[in-house]
Amino acid sequence: MKNFLFIVFLCLNQFAISQEGPADSAQLPAPVKAAFALKYPDMKPKDWWINNKGEYGTILRKENRKRINIWMKRNGAILLLEEELDPKELPESVRLSAEKHISGTSMKAGKYWKQTKKGRIRYIQHVSDSGNIWMNVYNRHGRYIGKDYYRE
């Protein structure tokens, strides 16, 4: 019985550790706070989140109400940066490719995002058609890379 309870305790403990959830800004690692303050000195995030890998994320709003999503390692390195864009902010090659990709179809374009991950830039176009939502992905030169289904 003691072994069974010990195993249940270990499983519950591991489950609790692996969960994503809110992170108290007072408990953020100093490198995360410093890197964030250096990149965005005038912005104060409302909430921080921690994922099951120990990475910290937050969502910011720019002056124009567009969102910025950031995920950082414990050492302050930025893992993922996503910036919501207006279509007119897209590089011309990306904008033209995105327009061409959905022209002549019943697809409707939604939000656009610039995503920087591990130094690589790609652009994401949220698209809907007949109740389905997905993301068209383009490289920084406007070449269509593929489709990724939206997960909420």
- Provide, rounded to the nearest whole percent, the portion of the chain with pLDDT above 70: 84
Say if domain 20-83 classifies as CATH 3.10.450: yes
Alpha-carbon gap, residue 47 to 110, rounded angstroms: 25
pLDDT at site 15:
39
Q: What average pLDDT does the chain have?
A: 82
Beta bridge partners of 146: 137
The matching CATH number, chosen from 3.10.450.360, 3.40.605.10, 2.60.40.10, 3.40.50.720, for 86-152 is 3.10.450.360
Asked whether residue 74 carries a pLDDT value surpassing 60, the answer given is yes
pLDDT at site 78:
93
Give domain limits for the chain.
20-83, 86-152
More confident residue, 64 or 147: 147
Per-residue pLDDT reduced to its tens digit, 112-127: 999 999 889 999 998 8
* Arithmetic mean of pLDDT, 68-75: 94
Count the neighbouring beta carbons within 10 Å of the beta carbon of residue 36. 23
Alpha-carbon gap, residue 117 to 122, rounded angstroms: 8
Decide: helix, strand or coil at residue 25.
helix
* Arithmetic mean of pLDDT, 80-106: 89
